[in-house]
Structure formats: structure tokens, C-alpha cells
Amino acid sequence: MNKNEEEHMLNLQHDPKPSANMLISHNNKSLMKNELLSCKEFVNKKNFQNNECGLILLKWICKVTSLKNINVKHGVLALFIVSLFTIFYYTHYVDNGVFVGLIHRDTRPTPLVPTCRNIEEKVLSYQTINHKSEARLRIDPKVLVFVENTYSRLGKDIAELLVYNRIKYKIEVAGKSLPILTNLDKGRYGVVVFENIDKYLHMDKWNRELLDKYCREYSVGIVAFVNSNEDTLVAAQLKNFPLYIHTNLRLKDATLNKNSPVLRLTRAGDIAWGPLPGDDWTIFQHNHSTYETIEWAQSNALHIPFNTINNGNSQIQHPLTTVIKDSGKFDGIQRIFFGSSLKFWLHRLLLLDSLSYLSNGQLSLSLNRMILVDVDDIFVGEKGTRLKIDDIKALITTQKRISEIIPGFKFNLGFSGKYYHRGTSEENLGDDYLLENLKEFNWFSHMWNHQQPHLYDNLTILENEMLQNYAFAREHKIPTNSYYSVSPHHSGVYPAHEMLYKAWKKIWNIKVTSTEEYPHLRPARLRRGFKHRNIMVLPRQTCGLFTHTMYIDRYPGGRDKLDESIQGGELFQTIVYNPINIFMTHMSNYGSDRLALYTFESVIKFLRCWTHLKLVSEAPLQLAHTYFRLHPEESDPIWGNPCDDPRHLKIWSKSKECEALPKFLVIGPQKTGTTALYTFLSIHPNIDSNIISPDTFEEIQFFNGNNYYRGLDWYMEFFPIPTNSTKKYMFEKSATYFDGEFVPKRAHALLPHAKIISLLISPAKRAYSWYQHIKSHGDVTANNYTFYQVITSSESSHKALKDLRSRCLFPGKYAQHLEHWLSFYTPQHMYIIDGEQLKLNPIDVMNDLQRALKIQPILDYSKQIRYDVKKGFFCQISSEKRNKCLGKSKGRQYPPMDDKSLKYLQRYYMSHNTALVKLLKKLGSRPIPQWLKYDLSMFS
């Protein structure tokens, strides 16, 4: 063999996918030599044995290319075979289209069975793993994360991991001053994480000493990652540490130190075989007893001086340290260093364990994981795609194997009775066999005809549909007491369709459901639960299989992509991060190639291999109670705007109209002139407000009270769709919104683009006006106490007096409440009106407001309102000589406030008014009101 032939064959050996053309074009003599790879060996090595047709083609190629004398006929034949092989390869590995249907093979994958070390004797070790310290800890369970910049990839990955696991954190850009680390005698953070170890090693002396002192005093640990660098370092010492690094390496075959005390969630099970992601790994060497390896790997290069030694004529490769723990023996601070980012799935688990270990258990996650697998649409499917008897038997067999790992595990089958016996004769037998074995499974209801509930606008018809499915269940002895249902395509659950909730309660007594859509489908880490109409709604997850995922060769990205999700990828991490897992699958995933059976059995075995998680299975009702016991803060829903999400818009009732939602809110506070503003706005022909509420006059008070729990449908009933073609600027006025604790968050979720209008007068004057208002309405407390007694009452006073004092004083802390609104809305969305100017010069105020709201056409308010001498304020013009003014309760004259109360209030609000001046200057859109200058001047 000449030199060129030898190089060509070496290339063939190392090319992971040598093409057929390369095989044919190579000199046939070289294939006959035993010292190099033969064609037959190539065929066997490439594992084509499972593909009979592919094996035959390759053998023909081998036979043709091994002929000693290739003539024209042989060349044409070889070309034909290669072309046929190319088409076959394309349809088998690449194409997902028409060819797949023509050349379908039996490709059912066998569940992965990882070879885990010491798993049997360690299977219950989760009971003994505990990082919690008996010492009195003086730290908050919160993580301080230093990132290089706000856009860094690793920084985002760290933040997303913390969000997914509901771990509190604060992000700081490294290089700036340290944030405040303590609160009185308690540390604000339990662990400090550096995205880039260089930012920690090269901190300025002052900040470094301050951080180290904090870590020692409060027993706070540090996690740091070594980032990739263009310069390759060999045996470089980390600044001031007896630790050395070698950077920019390619590694493979990771293993964990089973004796490391850091491992809690993570189990040192198998070897993570194969190349590790990236070519920028860092390995560590040390010469101090404070260091202990957590993770090793092997070199994926030909030679690396750190881990190879000569042994006679051969080299022995030693494992390389990629994650290392500093026990604190060197300088009193515990640290964990990562030699790569979170691209490697094991590092995500190790980071969670590092947070748990370094915080002495303050940041430990529960090791219990609850799993429910829903099988939607068990009878729904086209002929030829439905389950047969063998598929049902495989379902039962796999369920038994899974139940050996997850005691009591059963698949949860959802049925739409209308589609029973709608398949081929073989598939109809499958339906019957399923019902013969119905006790093997759990069951829940779909809709009778699989119709989306949001399409129903008649409650009676919707209830009748459910009754048909209920009757089907009773006829076939399917259990009807699961208290659980899933809506087709998640319709009606969120955005909530009230008819669905009412019908569910009446027909099925539903107490729990699930959806992927709350608050949005993506990102999955933000899915949450909520309660509505006494029905608990749980977040639903996907395992990566959808209705069309029936064959392994049609899986997007191929089998490698599915296996990646199972072996440390998205599906694996979903279970790791979620204490409660409800997975959505479909009937079609359990026939054909039975991908769901493969997927769940494989991921469950992989979890047992690599984690100490305790997997359990419970009925939906028990899952729901557990979920809201873990996350009670999620009980209250947050109604988002369906018009801002294309997926939500598709499953929102067609009787709803996006234009009906308010374009701006008048938020108060009370007794600042909001009713006058409401009246002036309503004069404009193109501005319209909500229908008047019979309970609260013109105010709906939706975002800050129990009305919020009535749902979005209830709210929108106050905003009827305009009957004419004129575009209306809809608005709502509720003066109690201004200082409502939950109002800004709720309002922004539903109306993120709305303008927010507030009116401000002297807070002292507002407090006195409220007292007189409530007194005139016969409030017992106001009539029994003077204003001064009310505002100076103490915390030891009786509840009614304290409540009245709060309603007088609390709304006047204007800056505090406006800052709360500005944490959700931008300054451009906020519009602040001087309430005194609205009273004295409403025409100019209204003209400015129209321009700010971009309302067309501009209405000339000089022709719409005028001053009424009798009332003492501006009223709507009804005729040349008559005005239409507000009721008797508006403009009422009260006795002047006593000086003692005035001075007390001006002193009380001084700091708040000072903060308001700073805020208004920051906003820069409105002049400082005269009343504000006057109140501050009293103590200047």
C-alpha cells in the first residue's frame, strides 16, 4: 500500500460516517488487506444488522467494489446500487415525509438499561443524605450571583436553574461595589456564586476582604466556574491558592466521587460515556489536603501531560478532576470550583447539590418526586393509528415494570366515549381488550366528542355533552370518581371559560385539572398552578412526545435527540426540578413504535441510576393537595391578557373581543378628584367606561378585592363590545387601586400596555377629606373620635380605630405607592395629574391628558364644562343656562382642619413628600405641584 492509500484508509477509520462513494472509490486492493478495516468489518461495526435492507445493500457494495476487474457494466451496476442506497439512507435517517410511509420498518426501541454501580445497596440512601446543620444558622436561604454582564450565557443558565427550582436569588454584575451583605445580625445570602472565577480571584482588595470576612463569619460558601479563555493555561496556579489548572481541553467519560459529602440529589451511578460538551474544559491539580475531587473525566485527546504516565512501553491514563471541593482548611472558606459551564447536564445537578451543601441545608431541595402520566384521547384516532391488543398488553407489562420502581404506578387514561369502536376490526378488539382490563389503569374524563369547551356559548349544551360521556362511563363500568378531568387542547382552563368550570362541577364534581398554558406555554420553567371556582389547576409537563410522534424515525432530530432528552436532557431535568410532575401523552404514543413506553421506562431507570430521588405516584387529587401545600402562594390566579398570546387567543371564547379591554386605568387615590375626572372623560364621544356596578357605583374594584376571583369573564361583562363602528377608548376608574398591594401586578398581567393615571393633592388634605367623607356616611368610629384622635392613635388601639387611621394616612404615602406601580409599568405608562389643578383649571388639564393618551379627535373642553358658582367647581354644560353637576355628596363644605392636625400631618408626610419630589424629578414629565412645595416649606 502506498502512502496516499494508507492516509486514505486512516481517514476512513476515523471518519464517523464514511460514505458509500468513499468505499467504492477506494482502490479495491486495499480492502483485501487484513491489516486495515475490511468492508465486512465496516458493515458490522456500523451496526447495520438491525436494518436488513441496509445490510444487503452494503454487502452488494462491498462485493462490487472488491472485484478485480471493474468494467463499464460493473461500474453502472455499482452506480445504481449506490444511488439506491443513498435514497434508502435518506428515507431511513433524514426524511420525515412520504418515503417514510412507503418504507416503514419495525423500529420499536428497547428501553435503556444503564449499568449503575452499587445501585441495589444504595437504592434507599436518600433517607440518610442530609446537609442540614444543627448549628444555629444566621443566613437567609438566598443566592447571590455575580455575572460578567447582564447578557452572559452562563449567568442566564444559573438564573434559569434557580427559577426552575424556586430558589431565591439576586443578580449583581461583578466589578461593581458589593451589595449589602447583612441585615442586622443576619446574613442576606447563604451561598455566593461567581459566573467567572477570575472575577472572584481578581476582586479589589477591599471588596475581597469584605466578602471573605462575611463568608467566614456567617459560614457562607462560594461556587465559581472557570470560563473559557483564548489562552491555554498549563499548570497555572490560581491566585493565592495551592491549586493548579489546565484549560481548553476536550474530555470524555465523566464519573462522580461516590464518597463526596456534596452529593445529595446526585448519585454516583454510571459513567457518563462519550465526549463531554465543548472543547474548553478546565481540570484541577492540587497539593493541599483541603481539596477533594467531586467529578472526574478522561482526556479525549491523543496526549495530555496531566493524566498520562509511562509504564514500560505503554501509557496509563488517570482520571482528571473537573469539579473540586475546597473544605476550608486553607483559609476557613468552603468553595466548589467547576471546570466547565452548565452545558453538561451533570453540572446542573452538582450545582444544586453545591448550594445545598455550602448553605448547610438551607437551600436543600426535597428528594420526593411525584409522577402522573396522562394518556389523552385513549379512543380518539384515525383508523390505522389506534391501539391493538398487543399494544394494550405491552402497556400493562411496561406499567408493571415501572411500578417496581414507582410503587402503585398506573397510567391515567382519558376517554372520549364517542370514538369508541371507530377503528379497524383489529383496533376495535383493542378497545374491548382495554375495557376488559380497565382495572389495570386509572381513568379520567375528556369531552364526549373531544370538542373544545371554549367553542360552547350555551351552558346547557356543554353539560349535555358531558352527560353523554358520563353515561358512557357508567355503561362500561369506567370509574367516575377521580375528581380529575383534562380539557381537549387545554381549552377553557386558561384563559378560563366560566361555562367549563360550572359544567365540570355540576356533572363530574371536578376538583382538579391541569394545563400547560398557565401563565404561558413557554418557558416551561415558569409554569405554575392556581385555583379557580374551587378547582385546583396544576401545571402540566410534556415528555417531548406529541400526537404525531408515532415512529422513532419521525421523531424531530431522530432517536439521538430523544435519547438526549432522556439521558440528562430536558425530560430528565423536568422531573429533577419539579416536585409534582403531570405528563401529557396521547394514545398514538403507545401504539406503532410505542415511544411513550420506551421514553418513560428509560428516563425512570436513568433517574434511579443518577439521582437519589424518591419517585412516587399518587392520584390527581392527592397531587393537587400536595402541590398547594408546597406552594400556597400560587393559590391566587393571575389573569393574563389572551390577546397578547397567539396560543391563548386560539382557545379563548369567540364571544370575547380584545378591543373591549380598557386602554387606561384611573387608579386614585380616593378623595383626590377621581370622580370629577371620570365625569370629564365620559363627556368625550370616543371615550367610554365600564357599565356601572350595582355594588360599587361607577367602580368595578376588580384588581384589589374578591371580585378578582370571579375571573376575567366577569370583568369583561362590564365592557360590552361597541355596537357602532366608532373606535372607543375604554377605561376603568377605581380609586382604591392606587395603594392596593396586589393591584399593580394583577393590572400589568391583564393590561400591560395600559396608561395608568393618578391624581395627587396634599396628602394631609386628602386624609382629612376621607375622614369627613366616612363621617358623613355615618361611620361609628369617625363620629366617636376627632380627626386628631384618629390620626394619632397607636397600635394598641382597637381594630376599628386602627383601620380608620390606616385608610386616612396610608394612601398619602404617594412615592411609596408610585414606586410599586413603577416596578411593573414604565414611566412612559404613568401619567400623574395635579388634583388641585384639575379642580382650578380642568380645561387645560383635560386637553393635556387627551394628548398624552393620543385620543382622536381632540375635544375642546372649553365648550363642554364651565364653573358653577353654586357648587364651587366645574360642571358639564347641559344648556346655555344650565349645568349638569355631580351629586350632593360632591363639593360638600367641611369645617377647616385644625392647626394641630395640619402640623402633625405635614410633619408625618415630610419624608414621603421629599421622596415624591425626587420621584417626580426622576420622571421629569410634570412640574412640581404648588401644594407639595408648600407642605415641604413648612419644615424647611
d(CA 427, CA 386): 6
Residue pair 257/294 in contact by the 8 Å Cβ criterion = yes
The three-class DSSP label of residue 675 is helix
The label of the residue with cell 355503561 reads 475
- Interatomic CA distance for residues 519 and 642, integer angstroms: 10
Q: Which residues are catalytic?
A: 671
Cβ neighbourhood burial of 101 (10 Å; 0-12, 13-18, 19+)? exposed
Q: State how far the alpha carbon of 663 is from the alpha carbons of 341, 716, 753, 931, in Å.
A: 45, 13, 8, 30
Closest CA relative to residue 272, chosen from 340, 326, 223, 325: 340
Q: Which residues pair with 830 in a beta bridge?
A: 756
CA–centroid distance for 2 within its chain: 61
Q: Considering all CA atoms of the chain, what is the largest pairwise distance in Å, rounded to the nearest integer?
A: 119
Supply φ then ψ for residue 374, to 5 degrees: -85, 140
How many C-beta neighbours within 10 Å does residue 285 have? 17
H/E element, 912: helix 910-923
Residue pair 469/417 in contact (Cβ under 8 Å)? The answer is yes
673: left (phi over 0), alpha (psi -120 to 50) or beta: left
Q: How far apart are CA 653 and CA 637, in angstroms?
A: 19
What is the Cα 446 distance to its own chain's centre? 26
**Distance (Å, rounded) from C-alpha 116 to C-alpha 605?**
10
With a CB cutoff of 8 Å and minimum separation 6, the contacts of 855 are 684, 686, 687, 729
Cα distance between residue 73 and residue 80, in whole Å: 11
Identify any residues that bridge with 440 across adjacent strands, giving them in sequence order: none
Size (the chain), residues: 940
Please, what is the end-to-end C-alpha distance for the chain in angstroms?
A: 100
3-class DSSP state of 667: strand
Cα separation, 112 vs 602, whole angstroms: 5
The DSSP 8-state label assigned to residue 331 in this structure reads T
Q: Give just the sign of the alpha carbon dihedral 308, 313, 314, 318.
A: negative
C-alpha cell at 9: 484508509
Concatenate the DSSP letters of all residues of 515-576 into one string: ES-SS-SSSGGG---EEETTEEEEE-EE-S--TT---GGGSTTHHHHHHHHHTTSHHHHHHH
The radius of gyration of the chain from alpha carbons, rounded to an integer in Å, stands at 35
- Residue 463 has phi, psi (to 5 degrees) of -65, -40
Q: Answer whether 733's CB lies under 8 Å from 755's CB.
A: no
Strand partners of residue 171: 145
The rounded distance, in Å, linking the Cα atoms of 242 and 232 is: 19
Is omega for the bond preceding 261 within 30 degrees of 0, making it cis? no
Give the Cα separation of 749 and 824 in Å (integer). Answer: 9
Phi, psi (5° rounding) for residue 292? -145, 130
List, in sequence order, the alpha helices (H) in 385-523.
389-403, 425-436, 459-475, 498-503
CA contacts within 13 A on the Cβ side of 743: 27
The one-letter amino acid at 436: E
